[in-house]
Structure 1
Amino acid sequence: MALNVVVMAAGKGTRMKSARAKVLHRLGGRSLLQHVLDAAAPLGAMRTVVVTGHGAEQVEAAVAASGAVFVRQQPQLGTGHAVQQTVPALDDAADTTLILNGDVPLIRPETAAALAAACGGERLALLTVELADPSGYGRIVRDAAGAVTAIVEHKDASDAQRTIREVYTGMMAAPTALLKRWVMALKDDNAQREYYLTDIVGMAVAEGVAVVAAAASGETEVLGVNSPAQLADLERRLQRQRAEALMTAGVRLADPARFDQRGTLECGQDVEIDVNCVFEGRVVLGDGVSIGANCVIRDAEIGAGAVLHPFTHVEGATVGAGALVGPFARLRPGAELGREVHIGNFVEVKNSRLADGAKANHLAYLGDATVGPRVNYGAGSITANYDGANKHRTVIGADAHIGSNCVLVAPVTIGDGATIGAGSTIGKDAPAGQLTVARARQASLPGWQRPKKAPKA
């Protein structure tokens, strides 16, 4: 099927009470508009046209990589007026034009495809859904044979029509040539002085063009966002969907109501995730990984059998199989932990590679370092990697032992099997297999008196 896709994204979203365009508010780690464009992508449209208006420059910049064509609706004079702006941009070779809403982010690709197929380049197809409480929605009115004859807005509906539970979702598909002619014939002779896209239903009926309905799978995929409360509600619905998908695949979530996936999450077998964990970007968890409570993990790969203890933050890092990290540890971009590495409480690692079996168990910093296998890195020790202008690297050889409260002033190399005495500041290379100590001689001063405050006048 040759297809145009139109995405309506011009609205301000007054009830959001935000300077940001409504469609750029985020849901599950992506903007509302990006969700819609991602849903439309599998349809293989010949052309995707995004109608922008409020915050147009920011909206267009945010989704420029999608390859969409942008048209602007200024001022905003209704849904029909928005589609009027797309007429010059539509590809006439596409027999069907699918219209989606940029603030309805959870539309499924399958539903969008079914809506386009229902049109088939010949019919006006409306996406509908049945609601337990349809208050406020336009009702789908059918004749005795079941054919759609009109959309009646709630405020204009009779008592009998208000009992109808099937409502219009704001999304449709139409034959391209007919859509272009219909929208250009719309009138603004209403109280709001706006051009309503739904008026084309009457035009189709008058011309004998079949009007059909395609049903959504449920209300969640057709819910729009108009306020922070609605955005929060949709966030929880989305997270519940993602949690259920993970649990179906065998992941053990301590509480699916306290789980947030804001990107892609790939899990092996027997993965366990405790409460209040946040996953952003692309995260891969190997078989048997255990994630403790209140962890934040972004763009990371965690190897099989690794354990992240509670309150651990990981970003742009890789963790080897069987490693133990945390609690209260931080792995920053470029951190690479080998197999069975231990990173303990209040340890920060940045742009450093720790080989198999290395340990930094307490209150330490490793930045721009290469750490050999089985190194023991003492509590309170740091690599002084920044000289005020440039970063420098520290190399620690295999089986070295770094005592507590040491400062390794980069660039510096600690040889294999070397021991650095506690409290040392090391600014020169330390030889392999030897004890290196760099600290002042201890002295005690007899008769020394601690300073005292002068008595108050």
Structure 2
Amino acid sequence: MALDVVIMAAGKGTRMKSARPKVLHRLAGRALLQHVLDCAAALHPDGLVVVTGHGAEEVEAAVAGEGRRFVRQMPQHGTGHAVQQAAPLLHETGTTLVLNGDVPLVAPATAQALVAACGGERLALLTVTLDDPAGYGRILRAPGGAITGIVEQKDASPAQQALREVYTGVMAAPTAALRGWLARLTNDNAQREYYLTDVVAMAVADGVPVVHAAAADETEVLGVNSPAQLARLERRYQSRVAEALMEAGVRLADPARLDVRGRLDCGQDVEIDVGCVFEGRVVLADGVRVGPCCVLRDVEVGPGTILQAFTHIDGDGQPVRIGREGRIGPFARLRPGAALGDEVHVGNFVEVKNSSLADGAKANHLAYLGDATVGARVNYGAGSITANYDGANKHRTVIGDDAHVGSNCVLVAPVTIGAGATIGGGSTIAKDAPAGQLTVARARQASYAGWTRPQKAPPKPAP
């Protein structure tokens, strides 16, 4: 039996007070709509239709992908009108699941349970009971408990507004029946809109059973209509992540000060201090300690490594790799292509990009390593840099095992520093340095008697 998924993503989101379409605002580092698309993809639907409208071109460009089709609702005349636009793309029979692009945390298991409740024969509604149901359509039931309809907040009587069971905006319907109901919708209501919720009364009239599936909790079905709601949902999401990490044994200094905006996998005895942000895919092996205010994106950190305060690691899709027992930071920066062996030290205000540092290498202070291959046990002095860019192309620097690069050196690539070589402080090295030798390249020191510094001219007297 075919499964179609329709995602409504046409709304402007006036209360967001933003030029960006509402469904592209981010929760945990991803667009609201992307969360919904991920849920839909987990169901392996036979068809997926996204209904766009406000900012349609921007929305479609942001989430385009294989198997996704788009229809536009222009102008927007309500939820029923939105699904009407998708109707021609649905299969003739089967089940259609309707999701909302601004309700990002519906779990795939919940969506699957709703589809199962529909079974291609019943109208299934996802409901939840709220302490404060303001803004939601209320579920209407007959004395025996059967669902008879949904009334929108703006059309509800005082007695109906007191009801606490609400419709979440998510439904699953027999596709053939849904097509017929959509064709019969009218806009005879306070907002002069075509409500998708009106299909409930039609199903009852047609003798189609109306059933429900319950959301796991309120957080799962909360929508986003304002920056304040988005911020509150972000904290709920992060609280869930923090609880799961702690249940797995991770020690968090303060669960309320953690932001995971991707996937974070942790081994045993991992410690994370306050204010840390994790993006992309981050793997922290056993015994890793992350200091306060670190930002990690696309990185794999080996066992026992310590990331000190304000370390910034950004693999940007090219995972940075750090071996065991390393010591990084504080205030270090590792960029795409950085690969560090075991027991490597990268200290304060050191930047490493597209470079490998073998076991035991150290760059402890105020240094830059770009496009470099650094051997084992190398000591790279404070203030030293690899000059890897000639204005048109990047070039590589190779530093052999056990080499020592003094402070304030410039290594002009392409250049090789031989194993065991020593580079005298303040040198500018533009030719290969032999292994095992001292190489110095700097001007001879000179002193000049009788030299005086330039003096400022005295101020002119006032006229």
Query: Counterpart in 1 of 2:342?
Result: 339
Q: Tell me if the contact between 2:259 and 2:276 (Cα under 8 Å) persists in the aligned partners.
A: yes
Cα RMSD, aligned residues only: 1.1
What SS does the aligned partner of 1:160 have?
helix
Q: Tell me if the contact between 2:357 and 2:374 (Cα under 8 Å) persists in the aligned partners.
A: yes
State yes or no: 1:320 paired with 2:323.
yes
Spell out, residue by residue over 1:275-298, the C-alpha distance to the aligned partner (whole angstroms, 9 max, x if none): 111111111111111111000011
Deviation at 1:162, TM superposition (A): 3.0
Q: Which whole-Å CA distance do the structure 2 matches of 1:158 and 1:282 have between them?
A: 49
Query: Counterpart in 2 of 1:353?
Result: 356
Spell out, residue by residue over 1:320-365, the C-alpha distance to the aligned partner (whole angstroms, 9 max, x if none): 1111000000001011111000000000001111000000000001
What SS does the aligned partner of 1:187 have?
coil
Query: Counterpart in 2 of 1:23?
Result: 23
Q: Which residue type is aligned with residue 416 of structure 1? A: A
What SS does the aligned partner of 1:383 have?
strand
The number of aligned residues is 456
Q: Give the alignment partner of residue 451 of structure 2, picking from 432, 435, 448.
A: 448
State yes or no: 1:157 paired with 2:156.
yes
Q: Which residue type is aligned with residue 432 of structure 1? A: A
State yes or no: 1:76 paired with 2:79.
no
Query: Counterpart in 1 of 2:188?
Result: 189
Q: Tell me if the contact between 2:155 and 2:189 (Cα under 8 Å) persists in the aligned partners.
A: no
Spell out, residue by residue over 1:361-382, the C-alpha distance to the aligned partner (whole angstroms, 9 max, x if none): 0000111111100000000011
Q: Which whole-Å CA distance do the structure 1 matches of 2:44 and 2:447 have between them?
A: 81
Q: Which residue type is aligned with residue 152 of structure 1? A: V
Q: Tell me if the contact between 1:35 and 1:106 (Cα under 8 Å) persists in the aligned partners.
A: yes
Q: Which whole-Å CA distance do the structure 2 matches of 1:326 and 1:149 have between them?
A: 63
Query: Counterpart in 2 of 1:127?
Result: 126
Q: Which whole-Å CA distance do the structure 2 matches of 1:76 and 1:444 have between them?
A: 80
State yes or no: 1:364 paired with 2:367.
yes
Structure 1 stretches (4+) deviating beyond 6 angstroms? none
Query: Counterpart in 2 of 1:43?
Result: 43
State yes or no: 1:393 paired with 2:377.
no
Q: Which whole-Å CA distance do the structure 1 matches of 2:155 and 2:370 have between them?
A: 67
Residue correspondence of structure 1 range 416-435 to structure 2 within 5 A:
416-435=419-438
Q: What is the TM-score when the length of structure 2 is the normalising length?
A: 0.97
Deviation at 1:190, TM superposition (A): 2.6
What SS does the aligned partner of 1:390 have?
coil
Q: Which residue type is aligned with residue 16 of structure 1? A: M
Q: Which whole-Å CA distance do the structure 1 matches of 2:59 and 2:156 have between them?
A: 36
Q: Which whole-Å CA distance do the structure 2 matches of 1:276 and 1:5 have between them?
A: 38
Deviation at 1:92, TM superposition (A): 1.7
State yes or no: 1:205 paired with 2:204.
yes
Q: Which runs of 5+ in 1 are unaligned?
A: none
Bigger shift: residues 318-327 or 202-211: 202-211
Deviation at 1:217, TM superposition (A): 1.0
Q: Tell me if the contact between 2:155 and 2:190 (Cα under 8 Å) persists in the aligned partners.
A: no
What SS does the aligned partner of 2:70 have?
strand
Q: Tell me if the contact between 1:383 and 1:407 (Cα under 8 Å) persists in the aligned partners.
A: yes
Q: Tell me if the contact between 2:154 and 2:190 (Cα under 8 Å) persists in the aligned partners.
A: no
Q: Tell me if the contact between 1:43 and 1:113 (Cα under 8 Å) persists in the aligned partners.
A: yes
Deviation at 1:57, TM superposition (A): 1.4
Query: Counterpart in 1 of 2:413?
Result: 410
Spell out, residue by residue over 1:157-180, the C-alpha distance to the aligned partner (whole angstroms, 9 max, x if none): 334333321111111111100000
Q: Which residue type is aligned with residue 209 of structure 1? A: V
Query: Counterpart in 2 of 1:302?
Result: 301
Residue correspondence of structure 1 range 365-384 to structure 2 within 5 A:
365-384=368-387
What SS does the aligned partner of 1:275 have?
coil
Q: Which residue type is aligned with residue 443 of structure 1? A: A
Q: Which residue type is aligned with residue 249 of structure 1? A: A
Deviation at 1:192, TM superposition (A): 2.3
Bigger shift: residues 404-413 or 156-165: 156-165
Q: Which residue type is aligned with residue 60 of structure 2? A: E
Q: Which whole-Å CA distance do the structure 1 matches of 2:161 and 2:88 have between them?
A: 38
Spell out, residue by residue over 1:84-120, the C-alpha distance to the aligned partner (whole angstroms, 9 max, x if none): 1111100124x11111101000001111111111111
Deviation at 1:66, TM superposition (A): 4.9
Query: Counterpart in 2 of 1:437?
Result: 440
Q: Which whole-Å CA distance do the structure 2 matches of 1:284 and 1:31 have between them?
A: 23
Q: Which residue type is aligned with residue 351 of structure 2? A: E
Query: Counterpart in 2 of 1:215?
Result: 214
Q: Which whole-Å CA distance do the structure 2 matches of 1:427 and 1:368 have between them?
A: 15
Query: Counterpart in 2 of 1:245?
Result: 244
Q: Which residue type is aligned with residue 115 of structure 2? A: A
Residue correspondence of structure 1 range 82-121 to structure 2 within 5 A:
82-93=82-93, 95-121=94-120
Query: Counterpart in 2 of 1:268?
Result: 267
State yes or no: 1:10 paired with 2:10.
yes
What SS does the aligned partner of 1:340 have?
coil
Q: Which whole-Å CA distance do the structure 2 matches of 1:159 and 1:425 have between them?
A: 82
Q: Tell me if the contact between 1:37 and 1:66 (Cα under 8 Å) persists in the aligned partners.
A: no
Q: Tell me if the contact between 1:124 and 1:172 (Cα under 8 Å) persists in the aligned partners.
A: yes
Q: Tell me if the contact between 1:125 and 1:174 (Cα under 8 Å) persists in the aligned partners.
A: yes
What SS does the aligned partner of 2:65 have?
helix
Spell out, residue by residue over 1:50-76, the C-alpha distance to the aligned partner (whole angstroms, 9 max, x if none): 111111112112221252111111111
Q: Which runs of 5+ in 2 are unaligned?
A: none
Q: Which residue type is aligned with residue 21 of structure 1? A: P
What SS does the aligned partner of 2:38 have?
helix
Q: Which residue type is aligned with residue 229 of structure 2? A: Q
Q: Which whole-Å CA distance do the structure 2 matches of 1:203 and 1:12 have between them?
A: 29
Q: Which residue type is aligned with residue 278 of structure 2? A: F
Q: Tell me if the contact between 1:290 and 1:306 (Cα under 8 Å) persists in the aligned partners.
A: yes
